[in-house]
Amino acid sequence: MIDVLIVGAGPNGLMLACELALGGVQPVVLERHTAPTGEPRANGLVGQVVRLLDRRGLYTRLSGDDNPPVPQPSFVFGAFPLDLTMLADNPHYVLGVPQAQFEAGLAARAAELGVDVRRGHEVVDLHQGSDGVEVLLADGTRLTSRFLVGADGGHSAVRRLAGIDFPGVTDDRSVSRTATVTVPESFRDPETGGLLVPGYGVVPPFQHTRTTRGLIAWAPFPGRPAILTTTEWPSAPVGDQAPMSLAELRASVARVLGADLVVGAPDGPGLLRRLNGSNTRVAARYRDGRVLLLGDAAHVHPAMGGPGLNLGLQDAVNLGWKLAATVRGWAPQGLLDTYETERRPVAERVVMSTKAQAALISPGDDITGLRELFAELLRRPEVTGHIAALMSGADVRYPADPADPLAGHCAPDVVVLGDRGPVRLAELTHTARPLLLDSTGTYTEVAAPWRDRVDMVTGTLQGTAATALLVRPDCFIAWSAGDAGTLRAALTHHFGHPR
């Protein structure tokens, strides 16, 4: 019997597979496509997930940069530029790697870890028993696993076959058009890198620009074709019968800006996509017995602000160590259920954020008035800081002991000064094992009975006021220095009784 069967070899499924392998469980990944589609999707990763990739040793191999990630000086929220330089503690990170390249990097890492990825296998039915899940593939093959994870996207077959509802709202009022394009040099602003449109002015790069008629975004990525996107709210529905064309996009730009922009097709294959409306949905439950949902299979929302991969990949890291502990037999009672209790509120908060941004970009003079007020508020560092934490996921705190001020928060970028010299937390978490950082040398003695599953490092801690930290595999804090009794309780609560 297979321990864990993952349906879907996209970023979330592959990330979960890597986490399980690090946790001592070898999953099997099924993917209905025979090869990666190569379809342009996300243009990069934003938020705290960039720090998470650094803590798994993936940031350098994906970015080509040997240095740790640094926060970005600016971002956008609801077509407002966010000046993040005003923040003393900027939580917002960006990794400008296209999704296809990111998936290839994850697939290579999964192969290094011995993960079995089987392409061209489509799940068409499943049956759940008391000790496992049997799936039927399109070719008639049957496979049985102890757990089944649906990481197969917003139209998840696993979710449907498991009978899990997907309540939410479909908003069909907007139409978005996106294409990879070229524009003549005369339409480029040499100072900003934006578009210089006669009759309108400058459309800045890598931002959403709102007019009373719609939205436009210009993304001139270095080394690859630029992407142009518009969003409108037409009075009548736009059909999907005719394929999207550059002429259609050019006409949309003219309506949004009130001015004409000349666009052409790039050399080689390009993107031409029209999306009618948007979906905002969260699964009725993330777990049904031995079936679990991950990423877009559990939640879908508009892409405003690019939160999708930040949310889904951190779902995978939250689920990975808990599922591995359950399979290996040391998980405390109820640990697997905390996947939903911890991650559902995060998804609901992302949904709230995307809804708020959708309202702020809507057309109309009344929305323009609201935006004028919002622009005033964003000049306050505390407001921009609140929005940046929301957008990046830095405001996530999982349920924890209220007497422990650090528990439940993501661990800071601690540096340990010990026998090996200075070592970053990110260098100690590549193995995805629980970690006890101890500057006193006494807490490691208390935790010694858990040494089979908890790594322990002693040394002076820089970057935190705590004298000791117990860090979960997903890099959230399980405990910060208290007495020996509270440490034993935290070890038992998160990582089970010692053998």
Q: Name which of 293, 353, 285 is nearest 150 in CA terms.
A: 293
In which band, very low, low, confident or very high, does the pLDDT at 443 lie, cut at 50, 70 and 90? very high
Transcribe 208-229 into DSSP letters: EEEETTEEEEEE--TTS-EEEE
Counting DSSP H helices and E strands in the chain, the numbers are: 13, 27
- Boundary-marking domain end, from 330, 362, 392: 392
The answer to the question of residue 157 being in a domain is yes
pLDDT at 268: 77
Judge if 218 and 110 occupy the same domain.
no
In which band, very low, low, confident or very high, does the pLDDT at 40 lie, cut at 50, 70 and 90? low
- Boundary-marking domain end, from 364, 392, 420: 392
Judge if 288 and 256 occupy the same domain.
no
Judge if 161 and 305 occupy the same domain.
yes
Across the range 311-315, mean pLDDT stands at 96
- Tell how strand 455-458 and strand 435-438 pair up: parallel
Would the pLDDT of 413 be above 90?
yes
Please report, for residues 207, 331, 377, 419, the alpha-carbon distance to residue 492 in angstroms, rounded to integers and kept in the order given.
47, 9, 45, 29
Judge if 7 and 154 occupy the same domain.
yes
In which band, very low, low, confident or very high, does the pLDDT at 131 lie, cut at 50, 70 and 90? very high
> What is the rounded distance in angstroms from the CA atom of residue 317 to the CA atom of residue 321?
7
Judge if 42 and 129 occupy the same domain.
yes
Residue-wise pLDDT for 190-229, tens only, equals 999 999 999 999 999 999 999 989 999 999 988 888 999 9
The answer to the question of residue 402 being in a domain is no
Domain that includes residue 431, residue range: 409-495
The answer to the question of residue 73 being in a domain is yes
Residue-wise pLDDT for 447-484, tens only, equals 999 999 999 999 999 999 999 999 999 999 999 988 89
Residues whose CB falls within 8 Å of the CB of residue 83, separated by 6 or more in sequence, listed in order = 73, 74, 378, 384
Q: Name which of 173, 180, 121 is nearest 152 in CA terms.
A: 121
User: For 138-147, 232-241, 380-389, which range has the lowest pLDDT when averaged over its residues?
Assistant: 232-241
Judge if 439 and 457 occupy the same domain.
yes
We report the CATH number of the domain holding residue 268 as 3.30.70.2450
Judge if 270 and 284 occupy the same domain.
no
We report the CATH number of the domain holding residue 293 as 3.50.50.60
The H or E element containing residue 325 is helix 308-328
CA atoms within 13 A on the CB side of 369: 3
* CB contact burial 420-432 (16+ within 10 A = b; e otherwise): eeebbbbebbeeb
- Boundary-marking domain end, from 278, 301, 318: 278
Judge if 137 and 179 occupy the same domain.
no
The answer to the question of residue 399 being in a domain is no
Q: Name which of 470, 475, 316 is nearest 401 in CA terms.
A: 470
